[in-house]
Amino acid sequence: MISNIGIPGLVLILVIALIIFGPSKLPEMGKAMGQTLKEFKKSTKELTDDVSEPVEEAKKEAKKFTE
């Protein structure tokens, strides 16, 4: 979806955001958005680690029975 926007669309979105929120709020919003994405990425990594650990353990157990 985002890949279909293109550079002109991105510039338009930034100009509209600048008009709506003003130049003082945009850096704050960008920082908050970055922190949110960082936390989301951390949470998804933890979730995949929680799921992959039991799978790896099950593979090790299965390998013991086949040897």
Predicted TM-score of the model (pTM): 0.55
Q: Report yes or no: 16 and 26 within 8 Å, Cβ to Cβ.
A: no
Q: What is the pLDDT of residues 9-67, one digit of tens each?
A: 888 988 998 899 888 888 898 899 999 999 999 999 988 888 777 777 877 777 777 76
Does pLDDT of 1 surpass 70? no
Q: Report yes or no: 49 and 57 within 8 Å, Cβ to Cβ.
A: no
pLDDT attached to residue 2: 57
pLDDT attached to residue 67: 66
Amino acid at 30: G
Angle at Cα 29 formed by Cα 18 and Cα 1, nearest 5°?
A: 80
